Every structure is written in structure tokens, then in C-alpha cells.
Amino acid sequence: MAVVGSVKTALQVAEVLEAIVSRCVGPEGRQVLCTKPTGEVLLSRDGGRLLEALHLDHPIARIIVACVSSHLKKTGDGAKTFVIFLCHLLRGLRAITEKEKDSLISENIQTFERCWKNCCQWKFICQALLTFQTQILDGIMDQYLSRHFLSIFSSSAKERTLCRSSLELLLEAYFCGRVGRNNHKFISQLMCNFFFKSTISDSRLEVFELVDDCFVELNVSVTGLPVSDSRIIDGLVLHRDFSVYCPADGDMRVAIVRETIQPLFSTSGSEFVLNSEAQFQTSQIWIMERTKSIMKHLRSQNVRLLLSSVKQPDLVIYYARLNGISVVDCLSSEEISLIQRIISLSPFVLPQASLQCEISNPALVKFCKPLILRSKRYVHLGLMSTCTFAPHCIILCGPVQGLIEQHENALHGAFKMLRQLFKDFDLNYVKKSNDQNDTLSPHVKNNDELEKNQYLQAHSNLVVSDAELETYIPCSTPKLLPTDTVQTDETWRCLPPENKKINDDYELLIESNSSSNPITENTRIETYCENLQVTNIAGKESTLPMKYKSLDTHISQSYCSSSVPAGCVLPVGGSFEILLHYYLLNYAKKCQQLQEIMVSKLIASALLGIPKILYKPKKGNHNFPQIYLRALHALQTNQPIISCQAGLESVIGKYHLLTSVLQCLTKILTVDLIINIKRQPQKSCDQDSEDELQH
Amino acid sequence: MMSCLEAKKPSLCHREPLTAEKVRTTLAVLKGVLTSCYGPFGRLKQLHNGVGGSVCTTSQSAVLLRNLSVTHPVLKVLIASVQNHVSCFSDCGLFTAILCCNLIENVQKTNLATATAIKLNKRLLNFCTNYLRSESCGCRIPVDFSSTQILLCLVRSVLTSKPACMLTRKEVDHISTLILRAFLFTIPESTKNPIILGKSIIISLKGPRVTDSTVLPGVLIEIPEIQLMKTLPVRKSSALKVALFSTSLSGDFSDPGEGSVVVSYRVSLENAVLDQLINLGRQLVSDHVDLVLCQKVMHPSLKRFLRTHHIIAIDRVGVTPIEPLSKATGAQPIGSLGPVSPSSYGSVKDWHSAQFGCKHFFHLIPNEAPVCTLLLCNRNDTVADELKLACQTALHVLQLTVKEPWVLLGGGCTETHLAACIRHTTHKEPGNILQGEGCTQAELQLIAEAFCSALESLAGSLEHDGGEILTDMKHGHFWSMQAGLPSVVNWPDLLSQCGCGVYSSQEELSWSVLRNTCHPFAPQTCIPHEALEINQQPARGLIVDCLTAKLSGLQVAVETANLILDLAYVIEDKN
């Protein structure tokens, strides 16, 4: 069956996902219990995990889930916000479609043609979205948003030092959305302790990479104990017990082997021919002697601990015990590679002939002892680190495995997030220097005040009914978009050769609207209050041809590159969204291209969806309209925005989220038809197609 | 290679799982099953598989929960968390499970926003743990290791709370002394740091009477009668030398490596290995070894050879006894057929052959190693399993008590006392618990009431015969009154002592029925010294619980309840 891929269906899907996800988002979010087919249960508030656990069937849902998980892989945060934001974007787009339908009802076009037309229109929007993401967003980030950025580094003098309190704020806010309500403080403290204990110098990026890569090896889960028993311990914990344990003090060395120390009769590909019983006996004796002498040699080199990735035979164990060497065998290759990374020790290669060689690398061990956690035995290893990572392990306790896994994933995600945060991020954008720019700025303020007034009016009219208040934003601001698009579209389709001209018309039109011509200004503002479409039409009738000529001379492009420095944060609770919303609207006002205006306004209004959900359970002075108004006021009067919530969030994480969502949206929009193939998926792609298209 | 590719079925997603009627009823059923098992007068449950197999009678949470099969994910979480607690602490499983069920039920009845309820539950839990760990705690007794009284009370409380062991009072006394003795055996003589406790092995025997159970120093190895007859007893006055083999002595050629081994015609590897084995035997003889123990199989020829040289050879010992044997004898398990280093040998003081019931044992008596064997006799299988589990619990609880030398009052008194404390504090100083969390006092009152009644109804489930449950207004202890007694009588005459046995009814107390909401009162904090002195007479033993296990049980119960209350969705994977 083929289904027409449309915004409507995508929105339906996204709305279902949003309903699930919005109950888990933010500090007031709740837990979700997932069962696996094996019968295990998993607790989660991690959006990505939830979406995967749903095993969604719908193709659009699968696109969304795939986008979310690839986003998570990169950043480790923001899956729930992703869905909410996407949903709001789709809602904005649907508003456009509905407008279009009204206009199309009169024309009696067949469904399919309309579908294709839709498709063209979506493609057009997609391109606009992509241009916005690649060319405009970075500019707005750099030119406007960056002045609001805070840093988690306290930049005293020349060097920047990481401030513990701001890291705590950042982590607490992160875990607020990830772990159970009573545990986020504890877990963020745990993470903070781990972080400060395990980083030696200031080169933290290396540590993040190591921790991110080897996270599984760096934590131990203990079920049956209360969460508050979780702790950080010095050294590494290997998930194995000693095969031999010989207590030892003082100067100790460690050797890593990847093969059995006992020589075998034959290696692979060779043949060992036994001709007599005596030969067999002597070779066995030789094997024994050889093993014995290797172990003696190791001991003489002061090796007191042997770490092996394979199982060592009884003979080796026996001689190790006799020589006082502790043995841990059957270690996973990940554990071995982690140890190698920490102490930069290459594996001990068994000498072929003589045993005179020294062991290449004298890696020292501080201690090695058994560690018993809930009657399970582990090896506790204190290593002298040669890299910037001071080995520490996290012991995670919890009543059930599912909860521990949640904490484990949250911690892992936090490291991913920090890894991103501690990198500089480059921004590249096209800067359009417009000679009218400067004159624009006071004008924009006017507009804003106006908007605010309007908002206040709405507020007073609707008498604090929350539900109705919320509808205000999507209704009023983007109202001008739908009509515009429709018109453009239609004309564009009808008159292909004049395409460019008409587009330019629209650009001009907007320009003329926002020009600071003192004569037109008054009328414009008035009409702005009542109906935007009126303005458009008025503009169209007016000074079109004249402006057309002057267009090229006015705009010149220049490519800029800048960067978001490492450690940029913003206060939690929708600050990023509200700021970007504000600046996008501003941008839209001075922008000339219709597509840009449309896209900016669409994104700006969708951005508000996130703070709206965050502030939903708040009462009194902390509900969304209040917060929004205060923020707008602060922005207009150039005052710092006061956030009512303590906590910080990474700017770069938010930026990545925005770009990922936009990419996902374009992916959804470019699909016009979903074809369901009722055949087993095939690995080889031989193209003798028997696919039947059913409509 | 055939590969089966099948599209995954979509999962089922339920909203607000706790509001579903089905979940509520199953939770109530589970709670009913668990409460009816609770305490010394708990009812037994018979578990049997419809297909066949053994029938087991039990009232212990460990056995019960392992065998219950639940399907709903919410119940799975509950049961998994209780099971995890039990595997950590052995004790207080039912306590945890029932408290958790009670809390979920009570909090749901309040109809408060889950966020607030969870926050306040956590606050109340913190209050409880702080109180139980504080010096002024009124339901905690320090353990005096110079006398065995409290420890014995602790063991006895554990045993009596498992009615499926079917022990008489006399048998309980006997077994508790044995358990305590076995525990004391495992404490090493030397006091070097850190102290590593020895090992006590529990062997369960079917047939003899419970009172025939004993504790023996050293290790018992079960061997067939014929083998015992063959091993000729050779008595020596000095210590006996022991060799312990962890490798196989059967003469099989184990690891040829990854390549191939080609054996020429007429070369017999068996003979070659056998020669090696006999050489090993010769070395053992010349080293004057008296006893050879082998984890795996020993070649009959080697056995015969050793026997002719008056060496006792016992094979197929198995992997579990190797560690205690190594501990008891000081021998290192030998993993080579080559020359044995003299330092690998160990020694024992003496050995016997012994018969208990119908089984024959080889009994090794160590010099002074902290290893002992607890032989538990019982008449039938089910009861034997139950008793063995109870003894393991008791031993574990004793170990925990050594680490944290406090015990809590048992018999429901700790629960009612805690409830009284919470009521009093929330009434008088709500700020102490709220600590500016943004919750109102009224919300706190509601949740505190839910929390306290969860604790109290937990204590109340100790009573199974329809009796009335009371609490006194001075100490906040738990008192139960027989059912069917005339109502208008003097209460002190009806009640003899409180649940834990610290207070008697003759102390001018006033009581109130637990179910009625009473006016909050400040329970007396410290336990008067005299009260303990009198009651440490063996005749009137106290009922006490392990502090570590109970505290952790309390925490796990509240955390699990919070977790379950916090669920917004359940996503069931239907693949």
C-alpha cells in the first residue's frame, strides 16, 4: 500500500510521540518502564531509549527514531526535546497547508496532482530550511546569541579554570531530565566527584574521550543496595576474580599477556609428530620446565601481577602461586585495552629462545586486592597512570538492575555532553551586509513593543486562562506566513519564466515593509496590528519597479567564520529557546527574502514549545506567559535575563539539537510517497524488481 | 546458513500503569500472599508445579519470590528489587516487600501529585535512617560481644520467624546455639588486620532428629562406603601431610594446542602419561604425604599405587570444597604433574571416618584453621531445605552484625516506634522534614500519615489470628492481644509483654488501638538500661533484628515504591 507522505501524517505520528515524551521531559518528568523480550525490565527517562523500545512500525516514525538516535550518538542529550521541537515545527507547517487547502478548494484538482504540487512546495520549504540551517543560523548564534553566553570556566587571569559550582549546576540540570526525581542531586554529585578525582591536569578532553570510550569498564553495578550506597573508588575494578591471589606490598610490576604462557604441543597450522613415548615425556617435561622458568623470570623482574586475556592453564596458575604472582585471566579485550591506555604498556611477548630480555615497560602497580561487592568478587587495581586520566571507578548501587542501567546511561550521556561542551565549535555563515541595517535597529524595537502590547492585550482579554493564552503565539506571529507562501507558490507555478522576478518582488515587498521610511511607518504599524495580509497587498501595489533596480546594489555578501568557544552555557529552563526565538523574529523583520522570513518565524514559534512544556506544572509567577514576558522585557531594555531556575545547559548541545531537528524535518518533507513492500528484506540488492505498487 | 528475518512487532504502551484495575488487584493479591507469611505465626505456602516435581513448603521470601511467576512489569520490578535485597542481606525480605506494597497502596489513596509524594517519601525515609543511626534512637540496642545473649537472641529471632522449619522451642534453642558456635569457629585466633572470617559449611542430612545436629571443626567430605573401607586407617601421632590436586590425575592428554598432534604407530600415550603419574606417586611417597585429595578424577593405577604405600587417596572432591580444604589444611592446590614443590603441601591434625545417618564422611580435623562444618539433621527434605536456608540467613546476619554492632528491636516494635516518631515530628516540627522543598505542611501530613500507616499495618501483619493490635503511649511499642477476649477488662492483665519483649505490661502504661488514629505523642527515646538487664535472662529472650539488613530493607522498600509510583508509562516489548 502506498501512503501519501504528508505533513499531516507526519504530524500525527509526531504528536503521538510527543504525548509520550512530554511526560518525561524536564525536572518534573516521570519514569517509563520498558520490558525487554527476555523479560528484563528497564527504567528509563531517556528519550532515545523510549523511542527505540516502542519498536515503531510507521515509516515516518522510524525516520524520526533513526534521526533521534543518530543525534544521540553524537551529543548524548536532547532526544525528548527533539521530538517536541519537531512536533511544533510540523504543527507550524500544517497551519500553512490548511491555509493552502482553503484556497485550493475552489480549484477542482485531482488528488494526485495536488499531491505532486504539495511535494514541490515541500521541496521548496526544505531548501529554505536547509539554507537557514547552513547560512543563517550560525550567524544569529554568533552575532546575537553569543552575547548572552555564560562560561563554566572562571576566566581569572590568563588561564581558565573549571569552576566546580558551575559544573555542578550544569550536571544537576542534565540529570534532572535523566534520572529519578530523588536521585538527580546525588548522581550529579557522584559524577562531579568522579570528574574532579579522575582528571589530573587541565587537558580534560582526553579524559572525556577515554571515559566515553571505555565507560562500561569504568563502572560496576551492584543490585540490592540503596542508591545512596553508590560511590567513587580509587583505581580500576576488573569484572573478574583472581585466579591466584598472592598479597604483596611495595614495588610491584604488572605484565599483560594475550596468549597462554604454557607452551603447547603444536601451534595452529603445524603438526607435531610423536615417535616414541620417551619423546612425549620429555616434551611434557620441557613444557613444564619452560612454564616454570618463564614464571620465575617474570618474578625476577618483579612482576607480581599477570593480566591475561585468555584462560591460563592449571600449570601456569600453579607456578604463579608458587612464585607469588597474582593472576587475573579471561579479561575482556576492552578491559585490556583500557589498562593499556592508562599505563601505556604493551603486552608481554613470550621470548622465543632466551629469557634474558627485560620486560620493555616498567609499569607499576600501587595495589591489587580483591574487592567484594555483594558477595561477588572483583579485582581492585591501583595503577600508576601515565596519561591524564587518574583511574577511578564508579560503583553504582540500586534496588534493581533497571534503575542502575538508567543511572549508567545517564552518566555516559553526561560524559558525551561534556565532551562536546569542552570543544570549540566553528560557525560559518554568510553575512549579508545591508546598508539599511543600522537604521533598522531602533525600528525593530518599536515592533517588539508593539507585539508586546498586543500580547498584553491578549493576556488581559483572555483573563488568565492558560489554555487560551498558549494558543496566542502560534496564531498571531506566524499568521503572515501561510498567506505569503501560498501566493508565492501559485504564482511561481503559473509563471515559470517570471519566477525570479516575482520572488524578488516578494523580497522587495518585505523590505519596503520594514524600511524606516518615516512616512509609511505609521500606516504600517497600524495595519500590522490588524491584519498583516493587508500590508502585503498594499506593499505590492506600491513602489515595486523602482525598488527592483536598486536591489542588487544594496546587498553584498561576505562569508564569515567564527566559533562558539568551549564551555559555553546558558541558564536552564528555555533560555536558549526564548533568546533564539527573539532574535529570529528580529531577523525576520529585517530580512528581505520571503523564504527566510517564513522559515525564521516558523522556527521561532516552534522553539517556544519547549519552555511551554517545561513551565506547564508551574503555578503563579512562574507560568510560561509570565516568564516569556519578563524575558522579552529584559531583552528589549538590554537587561540581563533573570532565570528562576538554577542550572545551566550546554549551548552547543542545543545548537546541535536544532540542526538535527531541521535535518530530520527536511528528511520527512522530501518524502512524497511511502511504498510498503510486502517482501522479506533482502541483503543483496539485485534489481530484478517485482515490486508492485498498490494504490 | 539460513537466517530468519522477521519484522519486530510494535510494543504496547500503557499510560499510568498504577491506575489500571488489573495492576491494583494483582498488587493486592501479592501483598496478601506476602503478609500471610510474615512473622513467627505466618501461614505456610505450599508451592508445587502442575507438571510435577517436588513440592515445597515455605514461608520465606527467598523461596516464595523465586517460584512465583509474575507477568506484569510493575510487579517484576517489585519482586526483583526484593530478591536483590535478599541476596545481599538474606534477611528482611518479607519486611521489604510488604512495606513497599503498603506504601504504594497508601500513597495512591492520598491522591496527591506523585512528584510531591515521592519527594516527601524520600524526606521521611531520610528522617528514619537518620533516627535509626542516631545515638538517641529508642529502638536500637548495642551488641555486647563479651556475652552471647544478644547474639543468641538474634539467631533465635531469625529461626522463629521461619515457621516452615517446624522447630519446637527446644530445637530452636539447640540449633541457635549450634549456629552461634559455628559462627564463633570462623573467627580466626590471630588479630591481624584485616580480619578475614573463616568458613562454615552447612551439610544437610535427612533422617536423624533435629537435636542430633552438631557442629564439627574442619571439613567433612562425603565418600561412598566402599571407598571408606578401602582407605586403611593408618594412625600417626604427628601432623598428617596433605596434598591437594586441582588438576586431573586421570592421565588424559588434555591440551594439544591448535595444531595437530600425530602419534606414530605403537606409541601409547596412555602408558607415557601413566608413567608420569606413577613418578608423581613416587614423589608423594618419598615426601611422606599421608593424604592425597584430588578435585577431579584420579587414575585407578595411581590410586592403587598410593594405597599400597599407605597413602589415603580421595578423588572427585569437586570444586566447592577445594577452597575450604585449602584453608583448613594450608595446602595449595597443585596444578602440575611435574615435581611438586614442598611448599604446596599442607597438614591436618587428625582425620576420622564418620557416619551420620546413612551417609559416610571423611572428617578432616585442622590444626587451628577457622573452618567448621554445621551438620543439620532433619526428618524430611522440604523442611531440611528450609532449615538450611534459615541457618545460612542466621550466619549471614551474624556476620553483618559484626560489621555494624547494633540490633533493632523486633516483633513489630521498631515499626510502631518509628511511626510514632514520624507522627510526632511532623506534628511538632514539620520544618525539620520539609527543609524548604516547596511542599506544604498539609501535604506532609497526608504523606506522613500514609507512611506511618504503612509501617503500622506492616507490624500489624505479624498478627494472624484476628487479635487486636495495640500500641502504648509511652514507648510506642507493639502489643498484641488475643482475639475473642471480653472487651471490658484490665488491659495490663491481658497483655503480658510487648512484641520485642523489652517492656512488660505491669509498667503503668496506657494503650491505644493501632488502627484508630491517636493523638501524636513523643515516644521515649533511649531504652532504659534496666529494661535490658532484666530481659537478658534466657527464659525471656528479646526479639531483635539485624540493623544493617532492616535499614537497607527500609531504604530499598521506599526507593522501590517511589520508583513504581513515578511510572508514567509502561512499554511492553511483545517480541
If asked whether residues A649 and A538 sit together in one domain, one would say: yes
If asked whether residues A475 and A596 sit together in one domain, one would say: yes
CATH of the domain at B191: 3.30.260.10
No. of helices (H) and no. of strands (E), chain B: 18, 21
C-alpha cell at A44: 528509563
DSSP code, position B366: -
Q: Is residue B193 part of a domain?
A: yes
Domain stops at, among A406, A424, A442: A424
Task: Answer whether B4 touches A (CB < 8 Å).
Answer: no
Q: Is residue A155 part of a domain?
A: no
B266: left (phi over 0), alpha (psi -120 to 50) or beta: left
Instruction: Look at chain B and report how many structural domains it folds into.
Output: 3
Distance CA B400, CA A374 (A): 12
Among B150-159, B288-297, B487-496, the minimum mean pLDDT is found in B487-496
CB A664 within 8 A of CB A67: yes
CB A207 within 8 A of CB A245: no
If asked whether residues B337 and B357 sit together in one domain, one would say: yes
Asked if residue A632 has pLDDT above 70, the reply is: yes
What pLDDT shows up at residue A115?
A: 55
Residue B215's SS3 state is: strand
Which of B247, B349, B327 is CA-nearest to residue B294? B247
Give ipTM to 2 decimals: 0.88
If asked whether residues B283 and B327 sit together in one domain, one would say: yes
Q: Is residue B324 part of a domain?
A: yes
**Per-residue pLDDT tens over the stretch A428-446:** 776 655 444 333 333 333 4
Distance CA B414, CA B417 (A): 5
If asked whether residues B227 and B189 sit together in one domain, one would say: no
CA of A89, closest CA in chain B: separation in Å? Answer: 25
If asked whether residues A77 and A210 sit together in one domain, one would say: no
Most distant pair of Cα atoms in chain A: their distance: 115
User: Which residues, in sequence order, are bridge partners of residue B205?
Assistant: B377
Give residue A650's Cα distance to chain centre.
10
If asked whether residues A513 and A473 sit together in one domain, one would say: yes
If asked whether residues A491 and A401 sit together in one domain, one would say: no
Gap between the terminal Cα atoms of chain A: 6
CA of A311, closest CA in chain B: separation in Å? Answer: 12
If asked whether residues B486 and B565 sit together in one domain, one would say: yes
Contacts 24+ apart (CB under 8 A), B155-161: B155/B179, B155/B180, B155/B394, B155/B397, B155/B398, B156/B541, B157/B410, B157/B543, B157/B544, B157/B545, B158/B91, B158/B390, B158/B393, B158/B394, B158/B397, B159/B390, B159/B394, B160/B40, B160/B543, B161/B39, B161/B40, B161/B42
CB A510 within 8 A of CB A595: no
Task: Answer whether B560 touches A (CB < 8 Å).
Answer: yes
Residue A630's SS3 state is: helix
If asked whether residues B94 and B184 sit together in one domain, one would say: no
Q: Which residues of A touch B257 (CB under 8 A)?
A: 264-268, 272
Q: What is the pTM of this model?
A: 0.83
Confidence of residue B542 (pLDDT cuts 50, 70, 90): confident
C-alpha cell at A199: 582528571
* Cα four-point dihedral sign A512, A517, A519, A521: positive
CB B364 within 8 A of CB B244: no
If asked whether residues A343 and A216 sit together in one domain, one would say: no
Domain that holds residue A190: 161-235+393-424
If asked whether residues B334 and B457 sit together in one domain, one would say: no
Distance CA A638, CA A627 (A): 16
Distance CA A315, CA A261 (A): 9
Residue B344's closest chain A neighbor by CA? A322
Q: Is residue B486 part of a domain?
A: yes
Task: Answer whether B571 touches A (CB < 8 Å).
Answer: yes
If asked whether residues B284 and B227 sit together in one domain, one would say: yes
CB B530 within 8 A of CB B503: no
Distance CA A186, CA B236 (A): 63
The answer to whether the Cβ–Cβ distance between B568 and A223 falls below 8 Å is: no
C-alpha cell at A17: 510521540
Concatenating the DSSP letter of every residue in B504-524 gives BTTS---EEETTSPPPP----
The answer to whether the Cβ–Cβ distance between A277 and B271 falls below 8 Å is: yes
With cell 580509587, the residue in question is A234
Q: Is residue A687 part of a domain?
A: no
If asked whether residues A482 and A346 sit together in one domain, one would say: no
CATH of the domain at A313: 3.50.7.10
Which of A579, A628, A582 is CA-nearest to residue A601? A582
C-alpha cell at A587: 531577523
The answer to whether the Cβ–Cβ distance between A224 and B9 falls below 8 Å is: no
If asked whether residues A198 and A260 sit together in one domain, one would say: no
Concatenating the DSSP letter of every residue in B8-61 gives PPPPEEEESGGGSHHHHHHHHHHHHHHHHH-STTPPPEEE--TT-S--EEE--H
Q: Is residue B6 part of a domain?
A: no
What pLDDT shows up at residue B357?
A: 81
**Per-residue pLDDT tens over the stretch A82-124:** 999 999 998 888 887 676 655 555 444 455 555 556 666 777 7
The answer to whether the Cβ–Cβ distance between B77 and A400 falls below 8 Å is: yes
Mean pLDDT of A24-37: 84
Angle at B339 between CA B333 and CA B344, to 5 degrees: 30
CATH of the domain at A140: 1.10.560.10
**Per-residue pLDDT tens over the stretch A641-662:** 766 667 888 888 888 898 999 9
Domain stops at, among A367, A390, A413: A390
Residue B122's closest chain A neighbor by CA? A182
Concatenating the DSSP letter of every residue in A33-74 gives EEE-TTS-EEEE--HHHHHHHTT--SHHHHHHHHHHHHHHHH
Concatenating the DSSP letter of every residue in B103-160 gives HHHHHHHHT--HHHHHHHHHHHHHHHHHHHHSTT-TTEEE--TTSSHHHHHHHHHHHH
Task: Give the B window 86-105 contacts with A, CB below 8 Å.
Answer: 86-89
Among A304-318, A680-694, B120-134, the minimum mean pLDDT is found in A680-694
Mean pLDDT of B25-33: 94
Task: Give the B window 233-272 contacts with A, CB below 8 Å.
Answer: 246-247, 255-264, 267-269, 271-272
If asked whether residues A228 and A340 sit together in one domain, one would say: no
CA of B385, closest CA in chain A: separation in Å? Answer: 21
Among A234-238, A498-502, A572-576, B48-52, the minimum mean pLDDT is found in A498-502
**Which of A13, A24, A33 should we substitute to test contact with B (largest number of B Cβ atoms within 10 Å)?**
A33
Which of A135, A170, A138 is CA-nearest to residue A152? A170
The answer to whether the Cβ–Cβ distance between B567 and A276 falls below 8 Å is: no
CA of A268, closest CA in chain B: separation in Å? Answer: 4
The answer to whether the Cβ–Cβ distance between B257 and A266 falls below 8 Å is: yes
What pLDDT shows up at residue B269?
A: 80
If asked whether residues B224 and B282 sit together in one domain, one would say: yes
**Per-residue pLDDT tens over the stretch A448-457:** 444 444 433 3
C-alpha cell at A626: 509570565
Task: Give the B window 35-74 contacts with A, CB below 8 Å.
Answer: 73-74
Give residue B543's Cα distance to chain centre.
17
Among A95-104, A488-497, B436-445, B554-563, the minimum mean pLDDT is found in A488-497
Among A256-260, A519-523, B169-173, the minimum mean pLDDT is found in A519-523
Q: Is residue A682 part of a domain?
A: no
Smallest Cβ–Cβ distance between B567 and the set A32, A267, A319 belongs to A32
Task: Give the B window 68-87 contacts with A, CB below 8 Å.
Answer: 73-74, 76-77, 80-81, 83-87
Which of A255, A490, A220, A192 is CA-nearest to residue A380? A220
Q: Is residue B157 part of a domain?
A: yes
Which of B329, B349, B372, B324 is CA-nearest to residue B186? B372
CB A562 within 8 A of CB A640: no
Task: Give the B window 161-220 contacts with A, CB below 8 Å.
Answer: none
If asked whether residues A254 and A207 sit together in one domain, one would say: no
Smallest Cβ–Cβ distance between B571 and the set A53, A270, A292 belongs to A53
Which of B461, B485, B460, B462 is CA-nearest to residue B470? B460
Contacts of A65 (CB under 8 A, 6+ apart): A51, A52, A54, A56
**Per-residue pLDDT tens over the stretch B40-93:** 999 999 988 888 778 888 999 999 999 888 888 899 999 999 999 999 999 999
Residue A534's SS3 state is: helix
**Per-residue pLDDT tens over the stretch A224-277:** 889 989 999 998 999 999 988 888 877 788 888 888 888 877 777 777 888 888
**Per-residue pLDDT tens over the stretch B325-348:** 988 888 988 888 888 888 889 988
If asked whether residues B225 and B88 sit together in one domain, one would say: no
Distance CA A82, CA B238 (A): 79
Instruction: Look at chain A and report how many structural domains it folds into.
Output: 3
Angle at B60 between CA B412 and CA B407, to 5 degrees: 40
**Per-residue pLDDT tens over the stretch B224-249:** 776 666 655 556 667 789 999 988 88
pLDDT, greater one: A181 or A245: A245
CA of B408, closest CA in chain A: separation in Å? Answer: 19
If asked whether residues A209 and A254 sit together in one domain, one would say: no
If asked whether residues B237 and B319 sit together in one domain, one would say: yes
Smallest Cβ–Cβ distance between B258 and the set A266, A288, A402 belongs to A266
Which of A67, A25, A34, A23 is CA-nearest to residue A178? A25
If asked whether residues B226 and B356 sit together in one domain, one would say: yes
No. of helices (H) and no. of strands (E), chain A: 26, 21
Q: Is residue B23 part of a domain?
A: yes
CA distances from A536 to A348, A481, A487, A510, A527 (A): 79, 11, 11, 8, 10
CA of B417, closest CA in chain A: separation in Å? Answer: 23
Distance CA A576, CA A649 (A): 9
* φ, ψ (nearest 5 deg) of residue A433: -85, 120
- Give the mean pLDDT of chain A: 73
CB B280 within 8 A of CB A291: no
Residue A50's closest chain B neighbor by CA? B571
CA distances from B568 to A413, A573, A612, A667 (A): 22, 22, 20, 31
Q: Is residue B19 part of a domain?
A: yes
Smallest Cβ–Cβ distance between B571 and the set A28, A50, A400 belongs to A50
Q: Is residue B210 part of a domain?
A: yes
Contacts of A229 (CB under 8 A, 6+ apart): A222, A395, A397
Distance CA A496, CA A500 (A): 8
The answer to whether the Cβ–Cβ distance between A266 and B566 falls below 8 Å is: no
Domain that holds residue B383: 144-218+375-404
Cβ pairs bridging A and B (under 8 Å): 224
If asked whether residues A200 and A109 sit together in one domain, one would say: no
Q: Which residues of A touch B569 (CB under 8 A)?
A: 20, 23-24, 32-33, 50
pLDDT, greater one: A354 or B150: B150
If asked whether residues B227 and B335 sit together in one domain, one would say: yes
Task: Give the B window 330-349 contacts with A, CB below 8 Å.
Answer: 332-338, 341, 343-344
The answer to whether the Cβ–Cβ distance between B261 and A54 falls below 8 Å is: no
CB B270 within 8 A of CB B300: no
* Cα four-point dihedral sign A357, A363, A364, A369: negative
CATH of the domain at B350: 3.50.7.10
Contacts 24+ apart (CB under 8 A), A298-301: A298/A255, A298/A323, A298/A325, A298/A348, A298/A359, A299/A323, A299/A324, A299/A325, A301/A253, A301/A255, A301/A358, A301/A359
Sheet of B567-572: strand order equals A41-44, A31-35, B567-572, B12-15
